[in-house]
Structure 1
Amino acid sequence: MTGTRETPEIGQVADAVVGNWVDRLAPAWSRPYLRLSRADRPIGTWLLLLPCWWSLALACVMLDRLTTGDLWIGIGCGLGAWLMRGAGCTWNDITDRDFDGRVERTRSRPIPSGQVTVRQALAWMVIQALLAFAILLTFNGTAILLGIASLAIVCVYPFAKRFTWWPQVFLGLAFNWGALLAWAAVTGDLQWPALALYLAGIAWTLFYDTIYAHQDKEDDALIGVKSTARLFGEDSPRWLRRFLVAAVSLMAAGVILALAPATDVLTLTVALCGVWAFGWHLAWQLGRLNIDDPARCLRLFRANRDAGLIPVLFLAAALAL
């Protein structure tokens, strides 16, 4: 069973999946911290992880290999995505605590609801970041430097909605950094295919997070928070179509740049079919979008886990050929 509670019980977060493992299974003392990390809302971890796996899979297809080191990179990216998404969300909740207390969907979060103090949240953020750094140290030097560099974007993102109508761009810059990092971890350097996947991910983020932001547009307008949902308004579907085309075109460019020079036609075709299927899923979402229905916006936003997994599965199939 999935969905959200309109009137959550004490401690539960309003937009969490009903019956999530944190609310059911986690020790009571840990729940506020896991809620800070959005462990009860795993979609964000998927959206942070999937660009890593795009790059990892494409690089492995390009090199025609899958070593134990490559497998560890995939596992390390998964663990790192969970930890860094948690640290980033904790930082976001610290900086947004006053805003969150004034928005219906977010006032139940641990800090504005009084479940944890700011000092406790800061300590939890540091713990998560240090654990993620320990995983990062198992990668090569280029990947380590890229991981450290990403912190600048992560720190700035929570403030973006205060000074720009395009905070989703900053989210895209942060959430898709793994496309660069994973490529560097596999190949040892940065190449054009990784940049193309990074830009494709940013366009994808603009697509899904504009849908997400339509949930809060009325509250955001009251408190003065900016977003692409407010900027585009009723014109959002047209903008989303542009982001869809950009995401698919850039992802296709990345695949072609990586595979066309030396890969057989069948492998390239299978990989490009994954790009097409990814675009089809985004088009499916767009066809069902109602920007004035918050529950539908949330469901479509969550559907992007499946959309992002599609290229990974097709690249895995291409690698197996």
Structure 2
Amino acid sequence: MSQAPEGQVADAVKGNWVDSYAPAWTRPYLRLSRADRPIGTWLLFIPCIWGTLLAALADGNARLWDLWIIAGCGIGAFLMRGAGCTWNDITDRDFDAKVARTKSRPIPSGQVTVRGAVMWMVLQALIAFGILLSYSVQTIAVGMTSLIFVAIYPFAKRFTWWPQVFLGLAFNWGALLAWTAHSGSLGWPAVGLYLAGIAWTLFYDTIYAHQDTEDDALIGVKSTARLFGDQTPAWLRRFLVITVTMMTVSVIAAGLNASPLALAFALIGPWAMGWHLMWQLGRFNPDDKASLTPLFQSNRDAGLIPVLFFAAALAV
């Protein structure tokens, strides 16, 4: 049996590029940014793509600039997810040291000092800010506002049973930002898309939080997983319905001036995503901890399903 790389985080995918190929001195910092677990970057990035494509559908004007909106958001998602995770690990370092799944993270395991983590967080945030400056003043203002929720989220599990709401507020902000980057101002369809994303986050992060319910109970950390308990499937079903409904409303509002065929293609997106969430719901078993991470990670594919249909709507 091959030996795990030194410092590997317990819930990282074995053989990931950070542990396998990154220079040894960079690994603790890349692990701090969750670069060895890219699912979070995808979940932050996908709402940006939704917002860009639906904004283009709304005004019927897809253009080359949209490629930079998507690319810039992708790079920004990687950087801001890294900065956010670093901030989360700084604030949670004492909690993480008491939880089996997280005690191997860079700060509690001693790979990175708190001072080093702060410097790394600032560096990532500054580079992301440089990308944000390439967009309009309105977009910059929208992007800066998201920092409120990024700052609050690590503390939410200390004062509310619904910390996943704060994660959703932060993680889906890209839908508002990308819409504004394309259109020059916010629109109601973007707000509907944002609400759909928040409900989706409640769905997938409740599944994720079920991994740590026992440890969270011992150390007093709150979560929707602990709050819902045996009623989790019923709550997941509610979040699924809200996700599909709000995205459908958003698509209809954005596609009022589109051709019937384009609108029909776009409407398939939320419903096809809903079927994927139903598939996840059917396989959700909180007692099988090993199955929860792959189920959570499958939300990358769930979120990309609407992207395919929104892009097809623009192509017809």
**Structures share a fold, TM > 0.5?**
yes
Aligned equivalent of 1:161? 157
1:258 aligns with 2:276: no
Deviation at 1:68, TM superposition (A): 1.8
Equivalent position to 1:129, from 125, 132, 150: 125
**Partner Cα separation in structure 2 for residue 295 and residue 146 of structure 1:** 38
Could you tell me the TM-score, scaled by structure 2's length?
Answer: 0.98
Aligned equivalent of 2:143? 147
Aligned equivalent of 2:76? 80
Q: Is the 8 A contact 1:32 1:115 kept in 2?
A: yes
**Partner Cα separation in structure 2 for residue 217 and residue 97 of structure 1:** 18
Deviation at 1:67, TM superposition (A): 1.6
Aligned equivalent of 1:27? 23
Equivalent position to 2:102, from 101, 106, 120: 106
Aligned equivalent of 1:44? 40
Aligned equivalent of 1:61? 57
For 1:309, give the aligned amino acid: L
1:272 aligns with 2:244: no
Aligned equivalent of 2:175? 179
1:196 aligns with 2:192: yes
For 2:50, give the aligned amino acid: W
Give unpaired runs (5+ residues) of structure 2: none
Q: Is the 8 A contact 2:5 2:19 kept in 1?
A: no
Deviation at 1:9, TM superposition (A): 4.7
Aligned equivalent of 2:299? 304
1:317 aligns with 2:315: no
Q: Is the 8 A contact 2:55 2:179 kept in 1?
A: yes
Deviation at 1:292, TM superposition (A): 1.2
Q: Structure 2 matches for 1:204-215, cutoff 5 A? A: 204-215=200-211
In terms of mean alpha carbon deviation, does 90-99 or 285-294 score higher? 285-294
Could you tell me the TM-score, scaled by structure 1's length?
Answer: 0.97
Aligned equivalent of 1:216? 212
Aligned equivalent of 1:293? 288
1:283 aligns with 2:278: yes
Deviation at 1:309, TM superposition (A): 0.3
For 2:161, give the aligned amino acid: W
Deviation at 1:8, TM superposition (A): 5.2
Q: Is the 8 A contact 1:150 1:177 kept in 2?
A: yes
Deviation at 1:159, TM superposition (A): 0.2
Aligned equivalent of 2:222? 226
Aligned equivalent of 1:95? 91
- SS of the equivalent of 1:13 reads coil
Give unpaired runs (5+ residues) of structure 1: 1-6
Deviation at 1:264, TM superposition (A): 1.4
Q: Percent identity?
A: 69
Over residues 55-114 of structure 1, what are the superposed CA-to-partner deviations in whole Å (9 max), with x where a residue is unaligned?
101111222232221110000000000000000000000000000000000000000000
**Partner Cα separation in structure 2 for residue 68 and residue 284 of structure 1:** 36
Q: Is the 8 A contact 2:96 2:103 kept in 1?
A: yes
Count of aligned pairs:
315
Q: Is the 8 A contact 1:8 1:14 kept in 2?
A: no
For 2:224, give the aligned amino acid: T
Over residues 30-56 of structure 1, what are the superposed CA-to-partner deviations in whole Å (9 max), with x where a residue is unaligned?
000000000000000000000110010
Aligned equivalent of 1:116? 112
List structure 1 runs of 4+ shifted beyond 6 angstroms.
none
In terms of mean alpha carbon deviation, does 91-100 or 288-297 score higher? 288-297
**Partner Cα separation in structure 2 for residue 61 and residue 54 of structure 1:** 11
Q: Is the 8 A contact 2:162 2:223 kept in 1?
A: yes
Deviation at 1:265, TM superposition (A): 1.1
**Partner Cα separation in structure 1 for residue 5 and residue 16 of structure 2:** 13
- SS of the equivalent of 2:211 reads coil
